[in-house]
Structure 1
Amino acid sequence: MDFTLSARSEDLRRRIREFVDGELIPLESEGASYDEHDNIRPVLLRQMQSRARDHGLWSLQMPRERGGQGLSMAEMAACYEEMNRAIFGPVVFNSAAPDDGNMMVLNKVATAAQKERWLQPIIDGTVRSSFAMTEPAPGSGSDPGMTRTTAVRQGDHWIVNGHKHFITGAGVAAHFILMARTSDDARKGLTAFLFHRDDPGWEIVRRIPIMGPEEHGGHCELRFSDMRIPDENRLMGVGDGLKLTQIRLGPARLTHCMRWLGLAKRSLEIASTYVAERESFGMRLADREGVQWLLGEAAMAIQVGRLLTMHAAWKLDQGDYARREVSMAKVAVADTLHKAVDTAIQLCGARGYSRDTPLEWIYRYARQARLVDGASEVHKMVLSRTLMHDGVDFWRWG
């Protein structure tokens, strides 16, 4: 691997940093910047998105011919990290979950007609999207194979019945990707469908309260009752739903890591500035060995996470699924984000625990990292299975 960024991606990374520092971080200290769910206020979001578009920093992950910048996964790693040094960053650049993962999978697997109808409006920022897979127990969670929502074919339509919950962004989404069971086959039993929020036969039961802060549209509980979806809105082949989830979730998990590393770095930036100025018992906090150890350990963990993330991104760029690499990055970076912000709050003391800095926002957000897109324990289980199968070749080169 060559860690040198191309001239173009380095230019984008630098311009993103300037935009984040000049336009977004100042908003965090203004109470009027936030909506009732601790995210950026919708009117302000639209203003900032327009400015990001004007600066040529819009939809970096999408092809140029569709209005994006056509970055590789490795190039995205550097740029996404810069974006999320600001808590509002990803959504301003149209690179936030779940839109980010939905755009990438639709760009890979949708037909030309489906891309025009379902993908392009998400890229343009005229609609938001959602990925409806997770269900209440005993339905699917980290294991998509436990999906109980059904789709039964009737002529050129599918009749959908079922129950989903913790569906991110559903409260404001217009375009949805839905996972449903179409047979009892263990590997080919799931199929993916597209539907619009105005289609009849489904409802949002509630917006589930969470520790927060929340993404726009929250995390919702949905119910489907004899919903009719035309076969033309089926993604990939009948029974290819599990394959679609694998195509989507690997890159989506890794872009989470990229963004989380930005939040981890920002946490240490805040702590480093504070301990460099704060004096106690005749000495700056930064000159105390115990403080140096805490900062050093957190900084080292961030760098380990960056290397794991970049390696996984590089493998994805080579056409590999990079399942081991993505799982390792996801577990390590989720832990690192919590370690970094927890360290920063400890070093900043009461100020860190207050809302005078974004650290408490990041801390609440960080706790979900070990749960979303597969709990850490599930990823470790998968890694263990791979180790038992591959033996010493688990650590093979290439």
Structure 2
Amino acid sequence: MIDFTIPTETVRLAEEIKSFVVENIVPFEKDARLTAHGPTEDLRDEMVALAREAGLLTFQAPKRFGGLEPSHLDQAVLFEAAGWSTLGPVALNCAAPDEGNMFLLSRIANEAQTDEFLRPVIEGHQRSVFAMTEPDGAGSDPGQLATTAVRDGDDYVLNGRKWLITGANGAKTWIIMAALEGAGATLFLCDGETPGIVIERTMDTMDRNYVEGHCVVRFDNLRLPASSLLGEEGQAFRYAQLRLAPARLTHCMRWLGAATRAQAIAVEYAGRRTAFGKPIGQHQGVGFMLAENEIALQQCRLMIWWACWTLDQGEQGRHESSMVKSMVSEELFKVADRCVQVLGGMGISDETPVAMIFRDIRAFRLYDGPTEVHKYAIARQILR
């Protein structure tokens, strides 16, 4: 049986979230603290305080931490509402990388690690990073992991270099993937101020929706105690997969919200801007672009819902999430591109948020694996 009915309570909460974003967060899109490297820590703290006051902060958290623990399908509706502004997920504490890190830590962190590293992130008091990607290969292919960890008595000593580490500046909760001698890829958990973590620089990237941007990081004899081991030795790839399938989908949910916003702006503009004697939306060339966008947005929405339903049935969803990530990232980029085209000169300016959405959605085609890597994985699965 196929039923596309969304529970009344989920619809109500989505409307509340969208209203909060429109009224309280959209005005920050013109704030000087939204820099070329994303929102500053100060801007993030101010928005988080508003979400906390509204009772909407980290609504997706497990119930044992005070959250609503919505199903994956419910999340699809709620995260789309949060994504109406690219700052919405930051304010509500459901943005990457924190959202995925909270999901992972809630499943494998022990009690002491939960109290020190997870609860403060859920409560919005500190941010987290997932340090896996490296300049020389590890990322889409984590098998090329070059950062090493060796045992030294009861400690672990890590050395290596990472890049594109989102939000590294100022983050307190660090999840680090390293190749442990004799065991393989292993996850470690530590405080971002631990001696040996060196933030070399913030990279200049085309997107600006993540707090403090993306950094190049070096581990210089980073010494961690045995208590820093996250989960079991040699199980990092398995844990990463636990995190990645849902995280791919939450990326899709949030960017669907942003693309829907861009479409709404383009539709409004096409209805009032005139050319050759009538509103430009009545010209077939523009009207067809808007129609194509409407079709694509609904296709993306249904694909996301399908994969979320699969996860809610207890499946791993790796194949399904790869299909959705591949299709949705490409289609939403086309939607954003057509919105720029409809807006004309306005579309390449910061007079509306469409140009920002366009830049950020272009980067989305790379987040959590580029389209080509997902298609490679899909092809391997169907050829088995």
TM-score bin (small chain): over 0.9
Measure, in 1, the Cα distance between the counterparts of 2:113 and 2:190.
Answer: 11
Measure, in 1, the Cα distance between the counterparts of 2:83 and 2:381.
Answer: 32
Runs (5+) with no aligned partner, structure 2: none
Q: Which letter does structure 1 place at the counterpart of 2:28?
A: L
Match of 1:128 in 2: 127
Equivalent pairs: percent with the same residue? 40
1:278-357 residue pairs with structure 2 within 5 A?
Answer: 278-357=273-352
3-state DSSP of counterpart to 2:35: coil
TM-score, scaled to structure 2: 0.96
Measure, in 1, the Cα distance between the counterparts of 2:245 and 2:256.
Answer: 17
1:230-309 residue pairs with structure 2 within 5 A?
Answer: 230-309=225-304
3-state DSSP of counterpart to 1:205: strand
Measure, in 1, the Cα distance between the counterparts of 2:42 and 2:169.
Answer: 17
Runs (5+) with no aligned partner, structure 1: 390-398
3-state DSSP of counterpart to 1:349: helix
Q: Which letter does structure 2 place at the counterpart of 1:23?
A: N
Measure, in 1, the Cα distance between the counterparts of 2:101 and 2:193.
Answer: 19
Alpha-carbon contact 1:278-1:285 (below 8 Å) kept: yes
Q: Which letter does structure 2 place at the counterpart of 1:89?
A: G
1:181-220 residue pairs with structure 2 within 5 A?
Answer: 181-183=179-181, 189-220=184-215
1:154-190: CA deviation from partner (whole Å, max 9, x where unpaired) = 2321111111111111112111000010146xxx621
In the alignment, does 2:23 pair up with 1:22?
Answer: yes
Alpha-carbon contact 1:39-1:216 (below 8 Å) kept: yes
1:173-184 residue pairs with structure 2 within 5 A?
Answer: 173-183=171-181
Match of 2:81 in 1: 82
1:127-178: CA deviation from partner (whole Å, max 9, x where unpaired) = 11100000111x4120111101111112321111111111111112111000
Alpha-carbon contact 2:37-2:205 (below 8 Å) kept: no
How far the C-alpha of 1:256 sits from its partner, in A, is: 0.3
Measure, in 2, the Cα distance between the counterparts of 1:359 and 1:251.
Answer: 27
3-state DSSP of counterpart to 2:205: coil
Q: Which letter does structure 2 place at the counterpart of 1:80?
A: F
Greater RCO (Cα-Cα under 8 Å, separation 6 or more): 2
Alpha-carbon contact 1:140-1:148 (below 8 Å) kept: yes
3-state DSSP of counterpart to 2:23: helix
Alpha-carbon contact 1:157-1:230 (below 8 Å) kept: yes
1:10-89 residue pairs with structure 2 within 5 A?
Answer: 10-28=11-29, 30=30, 32-37=31-36, 39-89=38-88
Q: Which letter does structure 2 place at the counterpart of 1:151?
A: A
Match of 1:115 in 2: 114
Alpha-carbon contact 1:48-1:92 (below 8 Å) kept: yes
In the alignment, does 2:148 pair up with 1:153?
Answer: no
Measure, in 1, the Cα distance between the counterparts of 2:64 and 2:317.
Answer: 27
Alpha-carbon contact 2:37-2:214 (below 8 Å) kept: no
Question: Residues 45 and 220 of structure 1: is their aligned pair in 2 closer, same or farther, counting only changes over 3 Å?
Answer: closer
Alpha-carbon contact 1:33-1:44 (below 8 Å) kept: no
3-state DSSP of counterpart to 1:296: helix
3-state DSSP of counterpart to 1:371: coil
Alpha-carbon contact 1:33-1:41 (below 8 Å) kept: no
Question: Residues 212 and 198 of structure 1: is their aligned pair in 2 closer, same or farther, counting only changes over 3 Å?
Answer: same
Question: Residues 337 and 175 of structure 1: is their aligned pair in 2 closer, same or farther, counting only changes over 3 Å?
Answer: same
1:239-278: CA deviation from partner (whole Å, max 9, x where unpaired) = 1111111011111111000001011101100000000111
How far the C-alpha of 1:214 sits from its partner, in A, is: 4.6
Q: Which letter does structure 2 place at the counterpart of 1:347?
A: V
Measure, in 1, the Cα distance between the counterparts of 2:261 and 2:57.
Answer: 22
Match of 1:362 in 2: 357
How far the C-alpha of 1:42 sits from its partner, in A, is: 4.1
Q: Pairwise CA RMSD of aligned residues?
A: 1.5
Measure, in 2, the Cα distance between the counterparts of 1:386 and 1:96.
Answer: 30
1:274-308: CA deviation from partner (whole Å, max 9, x where unpaired) = 00111111111121222221111111111111111
In the alignment, does 2:96 pair up with 1:97?
Answer: yes
Question: Residues 110 and 135 of structure 1: is their aligned pair in 2 closer, same or farther, counting only changes over 3 Å?
Answer: same
Measure, in 1, the Cα distance between the counterparts of 2:179 and 2:97.
Answer: 22
How far the C-alpha of 1:56 sits from its partner, in A, is: 2.0
Q: Which letter does structure 1 place at the counterpart of 2:353?
A: P
Measure, in 1, the Cα distance between the counterparts of 2:217 and 2:86.
Answer: 28
Q: Which letter does structure 2 place at the counterpart of 1:222?
A: V
Measure, in 2, the Cα distance between the counterparts of 1:349 and 1:311.
Answer: 35
1:62-81: CA deviation from partner (whole Å, max 9, x where unpaired) = 12331322111111110110
Measure, in 1, the Cα distance between the counterparts of 2:217 and 2:18.
Answer: 38
Q: Which letter does structure 2 place at the counterpart of 1:190?
A: A
Match of 1:144 in 2: 142
Which deviates further from its counterpart, 72-81 or 205-214? 205-214
Measure, in 2, the Cα distance between the counterparts of 1:158 and 1:3.
Answer: 50
Question: Residues 364 and 73 of structure 1: is their aligned pair in 2 closer, same or farther, counting only changes over 3 Å?
Answer: same
Measure, in 2, the Cα distance between the counterparts of 1:158 and 1:285.
Answer: 64
Alpha-carbon contact 1:173-1:217 (below 8 Å) kept: no
Measure, in 1, the Cα distance between the counterparts of 2:56 and 2:4.
Answer: 22
